[in-house]
């Protein structure tokens, strides 16, 4: 129990301001003087070669102390301080000190004109981090922040899953290319499958203000073609809208476009379906520095739809997208109508959305409105799985999958010639997450499911 309490204290302390002086670090921010007597090595990044960088601000009664030498030494029990790392403060009282050592506690001292003007001990410093450290003369040291020195992860085509990541991806491509025309090496990178800039249906396109494709990472044969008058099955002239979004400084355009990963009209062919799938593209301007002409740089992704739910990963993304789209429950009339639309984004054959309350009452069912108002809390499959209760529990835990047997209307499961109502059922996997009533704070269970033996072939 004592060991567990020590771990909890350490974990809390790393997220708070550390006050250091000639004594162990204390957690004064949370109203306790319980001392933390162990270094933070277990909480640090394992990075043996990394240096810690300490940004020191030295001050006296709030005034910066310039021209002082600030030195650091590793605190090792039984050994005299060995001040190996130092820096001199500028007119703002600041200096940057690099420390090539491991994780633990350190001592610091400040000297000016050959005299020591301040000392501090028990300063926690972890390798691989930049530490923002305030050293007040006559007071306790304060760690104001700690930031990883690891470089930020570069966004790639594989990371594009929503509007936020799409926008970041296109903006990163512009920053990387700087301008248009692209150099040959950048063009080659943009076309490289499974490189940073191209992954399956995520790729970059560039066009001029007339709608002519100047660069197409996935299909160079389109380069030189004028696509200004293209429109989707709903009449959206997406090329024109993308050019307009770019001219306005950047923006999203939603439309339907052929998804080569989905047989959208069921003819057995994956490419060329006129129906298309929902697609979201983001367009921004990019300039020719010599002529000042602006071009449109863009990319797009296919948000997960009911038709695309073929495995657990897609199912989870589908339910999450539905929650993000609806925001809360009860659904507005237009959203409820969209969720019920067969062949739309949210409903395809046996893939649909449903909502339960905590008592097991169906409050929304996109496939069968007649079920709404029925209490299915005690429903169970042929193996005794009380799947409604398990779905509610999975939702209450923040989200989860439930596997059970359920009647699949596409299969004659007991061979009686009828497709609906077979008590045997087929394996089904559902995913449930909580969705909140923004007015009452009540939580409901939003869910969908798929039949893996059919969907996965």
Q: What is the pLDDT of residue 308?
A: 84
- Please check whether residue 129 is in contact with residue 52, taking contact to mean a CB–CB distance below 8 angstroms: yes
How much is the pTM? 0.54
Measured CA to CA, the distance from residue 218 to residue 205 in angstroms comes to: 8
Dist CA 265 CA 262 (whole Å): 9
> Strands 129-136 and 52-60: what pairing?
parallel
Rounded to whole angstroms, the Cα distance separating 296 from 242 reads: 8
Tens digits of residue pLDDT in 438-456: 889 999 999 999 999 644 4
Q: What is the CATH class of 309-455?
A: alpha beta
> Looking at the domain 2-148, which fold is it?
Immunoglobulin-like (2.60.40)
pLDDT beyond 70 at 420: no
Q: Cis bond leading into 143, ω under 30°?
A: no
Centre a 10 Å sphere on the Cβ of residue 144 and count the other Cβ atoms it contains: 12
> Greater confidence, 203 or 324?
203
Q: 3-class secondary structure for the chain? A: CHHHHHHHHHHHHHCCCEEECCCCCECHHHCCCCECCCCCHHHCCCCCCCCEEEEEEEEECCEECCCCEEEEEECCCCCCCCCCEEEECCCCCEEEEEECCCCEEEEEEEEECCEEEEEEEEEEECCCEEEEEEEECCCCEEEEEEEECCCCCCCCHHHCCCHHHHHHHHHHHHHHHCCCCCCHHHHHHHHCCCCCCCECCECCEEECCCCEEEEECCCHHHCCCECCCCCCCCCCCHHHHHHHHHHCCCEEEEEEECCCCCCCCCCCCCCCCCCCEEEEEEEEEEECCCCCCEEEEEEEECCCCHHHCCCHHHHHHHHHHHHHHHCCCCCCHHHHHHHHCCCCCCCECCECCEEECCCCEEEEECCCHHHCCCECCCCCCCCCCCHHHHHHHHHHCCCEEEEEEECCCCCCCCCCCCCCCCCCCEEEEEEEEEEECCCCCCEEEEEEEECHHHHCC
**Two domains, one topology: 157-303 and 309-455:** yes
Q: Is the pLDDT at 36 greater than 80, yes or no?
A: no
Dihedral pair phi/psi, residue 431, rounded to 5°: -125, 130
Structure tokens at 312: 């657990």
Partners of 252 in the beta sheet? Answer: 282
- Look-up: residue for tokens 């993304």? 317
**Domain spans in the chain, listed from the N-terminal domain onward:** 2-148, 157-303, 309-455
Q: What CATH fold (topology level) applies to the domain 157-303?
A: Beta-Lactamase (3.30.450)
Give Rg (Cα) of the chain: 30
pLDDT (average), residues 209-233:
97
Q: Per-residue pLDDT tens for 253-307?
A: 999 998 887 766 666 665 666 778 889 999 999 999 999 999 999 999 998 889 8
Question: Sign (positive/negative) of CA torsion 13, 19, 21, 22?
Answer: negative
pLDDT tens for residues 138-197? 999 999 888 877 766 789 999 898 888 999 999 999 999 999 999 999 999 999 998 999
The backbone region for 305, taken as left when phi is positive above 0, alpha when psi lies in -120 to 50, beta otherwise, is: beta
């Amino acid at each position: 129990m004592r060991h567990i309490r020590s771990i909890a204290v350490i974990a809390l302390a790393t997220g708070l301001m550390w006050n250091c002086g000639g004594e162990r670090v204390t957690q004064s921010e949370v109203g306790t003087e319980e001392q933390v007597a162990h270094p933070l090595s277990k909480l640090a990044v394992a990075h043996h070669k990394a240096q810690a960088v300490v940004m020191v601000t030295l001050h006296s009664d709030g005034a910066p102390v310039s021209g002082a030498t600030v030195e650091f030494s590793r605190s090792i029990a039984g050994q005299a301080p060995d001040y190996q790392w130092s820096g001199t403060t500028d007119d703002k009282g600041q200096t940057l000190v690099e420390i090539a050592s491991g994780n633990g506690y350190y001592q610091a001292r400040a000297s000016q004109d050959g005299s020591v003007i301040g000392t501090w001990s028990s300063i926690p410093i972890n390798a691989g981090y930049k530490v923002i450290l305030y050293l007040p003369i006559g007071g306790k040291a304060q760690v104001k922040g700690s930031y990883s020195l690891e470089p930020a992860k570069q966004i790639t085509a594989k990371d594009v899953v929503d509007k936020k990541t799409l926008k970041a991806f296109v903006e990163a491509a512009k920053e990387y290319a700087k301008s248009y025309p692209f150099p040959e090496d950048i063009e080659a990178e943009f076309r490289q499958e499974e490189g940073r800039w191209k992954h399956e249906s995520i790729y970059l396109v560039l066009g001029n203000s007339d709608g002519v494709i100047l660069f197409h990472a996935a299909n160079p044969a389109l380069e030189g073609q004028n696509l200004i008058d293209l429109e989707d099955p709903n009449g959206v002239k997406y090329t024109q809208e993308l050019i307009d979004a770019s001219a306005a400084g950047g923006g999203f355009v939603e439309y339907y476009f052929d998804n080569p990963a989905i047989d959208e009209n069921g003819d057995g062919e994956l490419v060329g379906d006129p129906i298309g799938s929902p697609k979201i593209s983001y367009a921004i301007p990019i300039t020719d520095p010599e002529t000042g002409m602006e071009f449109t740089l863009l990319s797009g992704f296919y948000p997960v739809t009911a038709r695309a739910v073929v495995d657990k990963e897609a199912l989870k993304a589908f339910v999450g997208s539905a929650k993000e789209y609806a925001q809360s429950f009860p659904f507005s009339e237009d959203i409820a109508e969209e969720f019920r639309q067969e062949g739309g984004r949210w409903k395809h054959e046996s893939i649909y959305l449903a909502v339960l309350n905590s008592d097991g009452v169906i409050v929304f069912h996109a496939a069968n409105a007649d079920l709404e108002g029925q209490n299915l809390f005690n429903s169970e499959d042929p193996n005794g799985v009380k799947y409604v209760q398990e779905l509610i529990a999975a939702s209450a835990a923040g989200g989860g999958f439930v596997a059970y047997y359920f009647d699949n209307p596409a299969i004659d499961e007991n061979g009686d010639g009828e497709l609906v109502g077979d008590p045997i059922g087929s394996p089904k996997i559902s995913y449930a997450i909580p969705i909140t009533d923004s007015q009452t704070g009540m939580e409901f269970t939003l869910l969908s499911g798929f039949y893996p033996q059919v969907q996965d072939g």
